[in-house]
């Protein structure tokens, strides 16, 4: 049944539909609304903002990170310890659910105004997805030049860097969502947002499942995605 569910989710992703991804009971224990970045619209951002309520982020496959020279934010901060010693005190060395954060830089498209509106964030995400796709056929120099011409930092879209060899070591939402994009055959960048509850915590798994049922969305657990990925991404 789980293979059939994954296959349905991959079809939904290819059609621009949301899927819900729960990482695991022994990690964040969070469910993320997930959509292929290339299909993001202002309505997508609005749905995430109103019905999920967490931080809207956009993932990038490791190949894209390399081509665009996207740094991990923690590394950027570490490089500035001498100039700003307080940054050393803020080192993220005690993350309770992982060893390293996936956060990269934040960006706005240069055609945005403040960058925070649904229209602005959708523009930033969709244009980033276009560049991500194009980066595979561009030289690193040309890709990075195009990145700088089209985007500025800081901004309102948080980029998340996927680790090399997806799901071989880190198995967070960044890797799970990006792996789903790879298997769906779309540009390997997902836009994700944690679903929040009314009690001040993340929406619990059972309530997230009920939300999925109510809106006819696929609800996937990280272990199902990992198992399908290990079988070659086709369930066989």
Q: Could you give the residue numbers annotated as active site? A: 32, 57, 97, 108, 156, 194
Angle of the 2-14 helix axis to the 173-184 helix axis, nearest 10: 80
Residue 69: CB atoms within 10 A of its CB come to 10
Terminal Cα distance for the chain, rounded? 13
Q: How far apart are CA 233 and CA 23, in angstroms?
A: 18
In 69-218, where does DSSP find H-type helix?
Answer: 73-79, 86-89, 118-135, 140-150, 173-184, 205-214
Residue 54: CB atoms within 10 A of its CB come to 18
């Amino acid at each position: 049944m789980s293979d059939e569910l994954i296959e349905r989710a991959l079809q939904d992703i290819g059609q621009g539909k949301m899927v819900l991804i729960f990482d695991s009971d022994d990690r964040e224990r969070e469910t993320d609304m997930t959509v292929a970045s290339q299909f993001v619209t202002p309505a997508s951002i609005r749905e995430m903002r109103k019905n999920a309520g967490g931080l809207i982020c956009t993932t990038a496959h490791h190949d894209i990170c390399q081509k665009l020279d996207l740094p991990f934010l923690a590394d950027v901060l570490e490089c500035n310890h001498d100039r700003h010693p307080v940054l050393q005190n803020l080192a993220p060395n005690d993350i309770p659910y992982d060893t390293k954060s996936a956060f990269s830089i934040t960006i706005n498209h240069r055609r945005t105004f403040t960058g925070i509106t649904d229209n602005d964030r959708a523009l930033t995400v969709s244009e980033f997805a276009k560049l991500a796709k194009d980066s595979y056929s561009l030289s690193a120099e040309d890709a990075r030049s195009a990145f700088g011409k089209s985007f500025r930092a800081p901004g309102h879209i948080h980029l998340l860097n996927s680790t090399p060899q997806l799901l071989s070591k880190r198995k967070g939402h960044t890797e799970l969502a990006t792996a789903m994009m790879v298997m769906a055959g779309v540009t390997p960048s997902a836009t994700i947002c944690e679903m929040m509850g009314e009690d001040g915590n993340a929406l619990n798994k059972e309530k997230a499942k009920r939300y999925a049922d109510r809106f006819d969305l696929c609800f996937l657990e990280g272990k199902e995605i990992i198992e399908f990925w290990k079988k070659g991404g086709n369930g066989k």
